Amino acid sequence: MKGTRLRLSRAGIAFAVFTAVAAGVGLLSGNNLVLLVGVVLIGLWILEAFLGGWNLRHLEVGRTLPVEPFAGLESRGTLRVANRRNWLGSWSIRVREHGMGGTLAVVPRIEHGGTIGVPVGWRFPKRGPARLDAVCLASAWPFGLLVRERRIPLPAELLVYPRPRFGPRGGAHPDLEGAEYDAGGRGGPYGDFAGLDPYRPGDRPLSIHWATTARVGEPMVIRHTGLAGECVVIQVVDCGGRAWEDALSGACGEVLRSFERRCAVSLQMPDCNLEPGVGGAWRRVLLDTLARAPHREKR
Protein backbone atom coordinates (compact mmCIF):
# COMPACT_ATOMS: atom_id res chain seq x y z
CA MET A 1 0.00 0.00 0.00
CA LYS A 2 1.38 3.44 -0.93
CA GLY A 3 2.70 5.41 2.03
CA THR A 4 2.84 2.38 4.34
CA ARG A 5 5.97 1.31 6.22
CA LEU A 6 6.44 -2.35 7.05
CA ARG A 7 8.65 -3.94 9.70
CA LEU A 8 8.94 -7.21 11.59
CA SER A 9 7.76 -7.33 15.17
CA ARG A 10 9.83 -9.19 17.77
CA ALA A 11 7.50 -12.16 17.44
CA GLY A 12 7.79 -11.85 13.67
CA ILE A 13 11.59 -12.06 13.78
CA ALA A 14 11.47 -15.29 15.81
CA PHE A 15 8.74 -16.71 13.60
CA ALA A 16 10.68 -15.84 10.45
CA VAL A 17 13.74 -17.73 11.73
CA PHE A 18 11.58 -20.72 12.61
CA THR A 19 9.93 -20.67 9.17
CA ALA A 20 13.28 -20.52 7.39
CA VAL A 21 14.68 -23.40 9.48
CA ALA A 22 11.59 -25.57 8.93
CA ALA A 23 11.55 -24.96 5.19
CA GLY A 24 15.32 -25.48 4.86
CA VAL A 25 15.36 -28.71 6.87
CA GLY A 26 12.40 -30.04 4.89
CA LEU A 27 14.09 -29.34 1.55
CA LEU A 28 17.50 -30.68 2.53
CA SER A 29 16.32 -33.78 4.37
CA GLY A 30 13.50 -34.69 2.05
CA ASN A 31 11.21 -35.14 5.06
CA ASN A 32 7.74 -34.44 3.67
CA LEU A 33 6.23 -33.74 7.08
CA VAL A 34 8.80 -31.08 7.95
CA LEU A 35 8.47 -29.65 4.43
CA LEU A 36 4.69 -29.49 4.85
CA VAL A 37 5.13 -27.59 8.11
CA GLY A 38 7.39 -25.10 6.31
CA VAL A 39 4.83 -24.63 3.53
CA VAL A 40 2.07 -23.99 6.09
CA LEU A 41 4.21 -21.40 7.85
CA ILE A 42 4.94 -19.64 4.55
CA GLY A 43 1.19 -19.62 3.91
CA LEU A 44 0.65 -17.88 7.25
CA TRP A 45 3.07 -15.16 6.19
CA ILE A 46 1.16 -14.64 2.94
CA LEU A 47 -2.13 -14.46 4.83
CA GLU A 48 -0.61 -12.02 7.32
CA ALA A 49 0.60 -9.79 4.49
CA PHE A 50 -2.78 -9.77 2.72
CA LEU A 51 -5.03 -9.26 5.76
CA GLY A 52 -2.69 -6.74 7.43
CA GLY A 53 -2.55 -4.61 4.28
CA TRP A 54 -6.34 -4.68 4.00
CA ASN A 55 -6.72 -3.67 7.65
CA LEU A 56 -5.27 -0.16 7.06
CA ARG A 57 -6.89 0.53 3.70
CA HIS A 58 -9.44 3.34 3.29
CA LEU A 59 -9.08 4.67 6.83
CA GLU A 60 -9.42 8.41 7.42
CA VAL A 61 -8.47 10.46 10.48
CA GLY A 62 -9.74 13.75 11.91
CA ARG A 63 -8.98 15.80 15.02
CA THR A 64 -10.85 17.98 17.47
CA LEU A 65 -8.05 20.05 18.93
CA PRO A 66 -8.03 21.43 22.49
CA VAL A 67 -9.63 24.84 22.88
CA GLU A 68 -6.97 26.19 25.23
CA PRO A 69 -3.69 24.24 25.22
CA PHE A 70 -1.18 25.18 27.94
CA ALA A 71 2.52 24.36 27.78
CA GLY A 72 3.53 21.32 29.81
CA LEU A 73 -0.05 20.35 30.69
CA GLU A 74 -2.16 17.70 29.03
CA SER A 75 -4.63 19.34 26.66
CA ARG A 76 -7.59 17.15 25.84
CA GLY A 77 -9.31 16.68 22.52
CA THR A 78 -10.60 13.93 20.24
CA LEU A 79 -9.24 11.82 17.40
CA ARG A 80 -11.74 10.37 14.92
CA VAL A 81 -10.92 7.31 12.81
CA ALA A 82 -13.34 6.49 9.98
CA ASN A 83 -13.51 3.25 7.99
CA ARG A 84 -14.67 4.10 4.45
CA ARG A 85 -14.77 0.52 3.19
CA ASN A 86 -18.05 -1.02 2.11
CA TRP A 87 -17.32 -4.32 3.82
CA LEU A 88 -15.12 -5.72 6.58
CA GLY A 89 -14.03 -3.77 9.63
CA SER A 90 -10.58 -2.84 10.92
CA TRP A 91 -9.02 -4.14 14.12
CA SER A 92 -6.35 -3.06 16.64
CA ILE A 93 -5.44 0.37 15.25
CA ARG A 94 -2.89 2.43 17.17
CA VAL A 95 -2.91 6.18 16.55
CA ARG A 96 -0.13 8.69 17.25
CA GLU A 97 0.97 12.13 16.13
CA HIS A 98 3.83 12.09 13.65
CA GLY A 99 6.99 13.50 15.23
CA MET A 100 5.65 13.57 18.80
CA GLY A 101 6.15 9.92 19.70
CA GLY A 102 4.00 7.75 21.90
CA THR A 103 0.63 6.17 21.21
CA LEU A 104 -2.23 8.63 21.59
CA ALA A 105 -5.06 6.12 21.32
CA VAL A 106 -5.88 2.51 20.56
CA VAL A 107 -9.02 1.67 18.56
CA PRO A 108 -9.95 -2.00 19.05
CA ARG A 109 -12.41 -2.22 16.16
CA ILE A 110 -14.04 0.01 13.54
CA GLU A 111 -17.00 -1.37 11.62
CA HIS A 112 -17.14 -0.78 7.86
CA GLY A 113 -18.71 2.60 7.15
CA GLY A 114 -18.31 3.58 10.81
CA THR A 115 -16.42 6.28 12.72
CA ILE A 116 -14.87 6.01 16.17
CA GLY A 117 -14.07 9.07 18.30
CA VAL A 118 -11.42 8.53 20.97
CA PRO A 119 -10.64 11.08 23.75
CA VAL A 120 -6.90 11.83 23.71
CA GLY A 121 -4.48 14.29 25.26
CA TRP A 122 -1.67 16.34 23.73
CA ARG A 123 1.22 17.72 25.77
CA PHE A 124 3.14 20.60 24.16
CA PRO A 125 6.56 21.35 25.68
CA LYS A 126 6.64 25.13 25.20
CA ARG A 127 4.41 28.12 24.56
CA GLY A 128 3.87 29.77 21.19
CA PRO A 129 2.65 28.60 17.78
CA ALA A 130 2.69 24.81 17.37
CA ARG A 131 2.18 22.78 14.24
CA LEU A 132 0.90 19.25 13.78
CA ASP A 133 1.83 17.64 10.46
CA ALA A 134 0.34 14.16 10.23
CA VAL A 135 -1.24 11.28 12.09
CA CYS A 136 0.27 7.78 11.97
CA LEU A 137 -1.90 4.67 12.05
CA ALA A 138 -0.19 1.40 13.00
CA SER A 139 -1.40 -2.17 13.33
CA ALA A 140 0.08 -5.63 13.81
CA TRP A 141 -3.21 -7.40 13.08
CA PRO A 142 -3.94 -10.29 12.53
CA PHE A 143 -1.06 -12.44 13.89
CA GLY A 144 1.31 -9.78 15.25
CA LEU A 145 4.17 -10.75 12.92
CA LEU A 146 4.30 -7.65 10.73
CA VAL A 147 3.76 -4.06 11.94
CA ARG A 148 2.38 -1.68 9.34
CA GLU A 149 2.44 2.07 9.81
CA ARG A 150 0.58 4.46 7.56
CA ARG A 151 1.23 8.21 7.67
CA ILE A 152 -1.80 10.38 6.88
CA PRO A 153 -1.10 14.11 6.29
CA LEU A 154 -3.30 16.20 8.58
CA PRO A 155 -1.72 19.65 9.01
CA ALA A 156 -3.00 21.88 11.81
CA GLU A 157 -1.74 24.92 13.66
CA LEU A 158 -2.60 26.04 17.18
CA LEU A 159 -1.36 28.51 19.75
CA VAL A 160 -0.01 27.12 23.02
CA TYR A 161 -0.38 29.36 26.07
CA PRO A 162 2.25 29.67 28.83
CA ARG A 163 1.96 27.18 31.64
CA PRO A 164 -0.10 29.04 34.26
CA ARG A 165 1.39 29.61 37.67
CA PHE A 166 -0.79 30.87 40.52
CA GLY A 167 1.00 32.94 43.13
CA PRO A 168 -0.46 34.40 46.33
CA ARG A 169 -2.76 37.37 45.90
CA GLY A 170 -4.76 39.40 48.37
CA GLY A 171 -8.34 38.18 48.53
CA ALA A 172 -7.58 35.15 46.41
CA HIS A 173 -9.57 31.99 46.83
CA PRO A 174 -7.62 29.95 49.44
CA ASP A 175 -8.09 26.66 47.63
CA LEU A 176 -6.28 27.92 44.53
CA GLU A 177 -3.27 29.71 46.00
CA GLY A 178 -0.15 28.16 44.50
CA ALA A 179 -2.20 25.62 42.50
CA GLU A 180 -1.64 24.57 38.90
CA TYR A 181 -4.41 25.19 36.39
CA ASP A 182 -5.97 22.02 34.92
CA ALA A 183 -6.94 22.57 31.28
CA GLY A 184 -9.29 19.62 31.40
CA GLY A 185 -11.71 20.67 34.06
CA ARG A 186 -10.58 20.53 37.73
CA GLY A 187 -10.37 23.57 39.98
CA GLY A 188 -12.91 25.71 41.71
CA PRO A 189 -14.52 28.94 40.45
CA TYR A 190 -14.81 32.18 42.37
CA GLY A 191 -18.00 33.75 43.63
CA ASP A 192 -21.54 32.48 44.01
CA PHE A 193 -23.62 30.72 41.40
CA ALA A 194 -25.29 33.32 39.15
CA GLY A 195 -27.05 31.16 36.56
CA LEU A 196 -26.45 29.48 33.20
CA ASP A 197 -25.68 31.22 29.92
CA PRO A 198 -25.00 29.97 26.36
CA TYR A 199 -21.36 29.21 25.64
CA ARG A 200 -19.35 32.10 24.14
CA PRO A 201 -15.97 31.86 22.38
CA GLY A 202 -13.30 32.18 25.06
CA ASP A 203 -15.28 30.47 27.83
CA ARG A 204 -13.35 27.69 29.55
CA PRO A 205 -14.46 24.10 28.89
CA LEU A 206 -14.53 23.43 32.64
CA SER A 207 -17.38 25.97 32.99
CA ILE A 208 -19.71 23.90 30.79
CA HIS A 209 -22.66 22.41 32.68
CA TRP A 210 -22.99 19.09 30.88
CA ALA A 211 -26.35 18.03 32.27
CA THR A 212 -28.04 21.22 31.04
CA THR A 213 -26.09 21.08 27.77
CA ALA A 214 -27.45 17.59 27.07
CA ARG A 215 -31.00 18.68 27.94
CA VAL A 216 -31.19 21.87 25.84
CA GLY A 217 -28.99 20.66 22.96
CA GLU A 218 -26.43 23.51 23.06
CA PRO A 219 -23.40 24.24 25.26
CA MET A 220 -24.33 26.03 28.49
CA VAL A 221 -21.81 27.45 30.95
CA ILE A 222 -22.02 28.30 34.63
CA ARG A 223 -21.72 31.98 35.56
CA HIS A 224 -20.54 33.15 38.95
CA THR A 225 -20.77 36.45 40.72
CA GLY A 226 -17.59 38.46 40.95
CA LEU A 227 -16.38 41.61 42.58
CA ALA A 228 -18.37 44.32 40.80
CA GLY A 229 -16.21 47.05 39.37
CA GLU A 230 -12.88 45.46 40.32
CA CYS A 231 -10.07 46.06 37.86
CA VAL A 232 -6.90 43.99 37.88
CA VAL A 233 -3.67 45.28 36.33
CA ILE A 234 -1.25 42.47 35.45
CA GLN A 235 2.35 43.56 34.97
CA VAL A 236 5.07 41.51 33.30
CA VAL A 237 8.51 42.72 34.35
CA ASP A 238 11.22 43.47 31.81
CA CYS A 239 13.68 40.58 32.14
CA GLY A 240 15.10 37.70 30.12
CA GLY A 241 15.79 33.98 30.07
CA ARG A 242 13.99 31.75 32.55
CA ALA A 243 12.82 34.73 34.59
CA TRP A 244 10.94 36.02 31.52
CA GLU A 245 9.17 32.70 30.99
CA ASP A 246 8.30 32.53 34.71
CA ALA A 247 6.86 36.04 34.52
CA LEU A 248 4.68 35.05 31.57
CA SER A 249 3.50 31.95 33.44
CA GLY A 250 2.60 34.06 36.45
CA ALA A 251 0.73 36.53 34.26
CA CYS A 252 -1.16 33.68 32.59
CA GLY A 253 -2.25 32.38 36.00
CA GLU A 254 -3.44 35.84 37.04
CA VAL A 255 -5.45 36.20 33.81
CA LEU A 256 -7.24 32.92 34.47
CA ARG A 257 -7.87 33.75 38.13
CA SER A 258 -9.07 37.30 37.41
CA PHE A 259 -11.56 36.19 34.79
CA GLU A 260 -12.95 33.60 37.18
CA ARG A 261 -13.63 36.56 39.48
CA ARG A 262 -15.25 38.41 36.55
CA CYS A 263 -12.86 41.33 36.89
CA ALA A 264 -11.83 43.79 34.22
CA VAL A 265 -8.23 42.93 33.31
CA SER A 266 -5.40 45.08 31.99
CA LEU A 267 -2.04 43.74 30.81
CA GLN A 268 1.20 45.73 30.92
CA MET A 269 4.27 44.29 29.23
CA PRO A 270 7.44 45.71 27.71
CA ASP A 271 6.39 47.30 24.38
CA CYS A 272 2.73 46.30 24.97
CA ASN A 273 0.04 47.89 27.15
CA LEU A 274 -3.55 46.65 26.91
CA GLU A 275 -6.38 48.63 28.49
CA PRO A 276 -8.83 46.90 30.86
CA GLY A 277 -11.45 44.67 29.26
CA VAL A 278 -13.92 41.95 30.12
CA GLY A 279 -15.53 38.93 28.47
CA GLY A 280 -14.40 35.69 26.90
CA ALA A 281 -13.08 37.30 23.73
CA TRP A 282 -10.88 39.69 25.74
CA ARG A 283 -9.61 36.79 27.84
CA ARG A 284 -8.49 35.08 24.64
CA VAL A 285 -6.74 38.27 23.47
CA LEU A 286 -4.73 38.41 26.69
CA LEU A 287 -3.75 34.73 26.53
CA ASP A 288 -2.78 35.08 22.86
CA THR A 289 -0.60 38.08 23.71
CA LEU A 290 1.24 36.12 26.39
CA ALA A 291 1.68 33.12 24.12
CA ARG A 292 3.12 35.21 21.25
CA ALA A 293 5.48 37.26 23.43
CA PRO A 294 8.99 37.15 21.89
CA HIS A 295 11.52 34.90 23.61
CA ARG A 296 14.21 36.85 25.45
CA GLU A 297 17.78 35.81 26.11
CA LYS A 298 19.12 35.84 29.64
CA ARG A 299 20.69 39.14 30.56
Query: Three-state SS for 99?
Result: coil
**Average pLDDT of adjacent 10-residue blocks, the chain of 299 residues:** 78 88 81 82 90 92 91 90 92 88 82 91 93 92 92 94 78 33 36 70 68 78 62 90 93 91 90 88 94 87
CA distance 111 to 153: 23
Class of domain 1-160: mainly beta
pLDDT of res. 120: 87
pLDDT of res. 229: 55
Complete edge-to-edge strand list for the sheet that includes strand 272-277: 231-235, 264-269, 272-277
CA distance 64 to 84: 19
Q: What is the 8-class DSSP label of residue 297?
A: -
pLDDT of res. 102: 63
Terminal Cα distance for the chain, rounded? 54
Nearest-10 Cα torsion for 240, 244, 246, 249: -170
pLDDT of res. 185: 33
Domain ranges of the chain: 1-160, 174-291
